[in-house]
Amino acid sequence: MDRVINKTKLSLLQGDITRQSTDAIVNAANSSLMGGGGVDGAIHRAGGPAILEECKQIVSRIGRLPTGEAVITTGGNLKARHVIHTVGPVWHGGHSGEPELLASAYRQSLRVAMERGLKSVSFPSISTGAFGYPARLAATVALETVIAFLHQEESLEEVVFVLFDDATYQTYAQALEGLLPNTG
Ligand code: ADP
């Protein structure tokens, strides 16, 4: 499923983000940047030790990465030349600033990509795995945030959401159809 926003193609697909060949893939990391389970583990396994090496250097420089912020490293052995590591919020019921922090994670990731002059970025569904953010709510925040960003900035050519399982893909597809109906 795709839409054009301003000059950027926004696509949803079901699959494994570690196989994407966009200029960068985004990692749903945790503040330690030391790897973990879920998509974080998959990215470090597929990309090899060069990614963790750079993460360690970043942490020694700036400390733990705050929720809602993003940093960039090499993609190591991945097809994507870069990994943008961001930290989404842990879901605590929705009244602890979760939507704002999730929006910030997407916005800061896009900003880092733009600052590096990258043209294409892939996102996973940040926070909806171990961090427990309800997928339907997260999908709306994710898509609204990316769409708003692309209305303001036109240097990116493609933004892709790579949803791991069919249920998450369907959730994002419904949310996108609600936000930008396909009028043919
Ligand atoms: P978080 O801690 O931010 O919740 P998780 O990695 O636990 O991050 O889950 C975020 C989403 O990433 C979930 O929908 C999960 O199914 C998905 N995911 C796991 N592995 C991959 C992968 N290889 N490619 C894309 N998405 C993945």
- pLDDT (tens digit per residue) in 48-77: 999 999 999 999 999 999 999 999 999 999
Cα distance between residue 156 and residue 110, in whole Å:
9
Cα distance between residue 107 and residue 13, in whole Å:
20
- What value does the mean pLDDT take over residues 95-107? 98
Return the CATH number of the domain spanning residue range 2-179.
3.40.220.10
- What value does the mean pLDDT take over residues 141-150? 98
Cα distance between residue 52 and residue 74, in whole Å:
9
Find out whether the beta carbon of 29 lies less than 6 Å from any atom of ligand 1: no
Q: What are the boundaries of each domain within the chain?
A: 2-179
Can you give the pLDDT at residue 183?
Answer: 72
- What value does the mean pLDDT take over residues 97-110? 98
Find out whether the beta carbon of 27 lies less than 6 Å from any atom of ligand 1: no
| Residue 3, SS3 per DSSP | strand
- What value does the mean pLDDT take over residues 114-118? 98
**pTM of model > 0.95:** yes
Can you give the pLDDT at residue 154?
Answer: 93
Structure tokens, 63: 């400390």
Query: How would residue 184 be classed by pLDDT, with cut points 50, 70 and 90?
Result: low
Q: What percent of the chain has pLDDT over 70?
A: 99
Can you give the pLDDT at residue 5?
Answer: 96
Mean pLDDT of the residues in the chain: 97
The answer to whether residues 17 and 166 touch, using CB atoms and an 8 Å cutoff, is no
Cα distance between residue 16 and residue 162, in whole Å:
7
* Pairing status of strand 2-5 against strand 120-123: unpaired
Most ligand 1 atoms within 8 A of CB, residue of 31, 67, 87, 125 to mutate: 125
If 0-12 CB within 10 Å is exposed, 13-18 middle and 19+ buried, where does residue 117 land? Answer: exposed
Report how far ligand 1's centroid is from the alpha carbon of 128 (Å). 7
Find out whether the beta carbon of 20 lies less than 6 Å from any atom of ligand 1: no
Query: How would residue 108 be classed by pLDDT, with cut points 50, 70 and 90?
Result: very high
Reply yes or no on whether 40 is catalytic. Answer: yes
Can you give the pLDDT at residue 24?
Answer: 99
31 forms beta bridges with: none
- pLDDT (tens digit per residue) in 153-179: 999 999 999 999 999 999 999 999 999
Cα distance between residue 163 and residue 172, in whole Å:
8
Can you give the pLDDT at residue 147?
Answer: 98
- What value does the mean pLDDT take over residues 130-137? 98
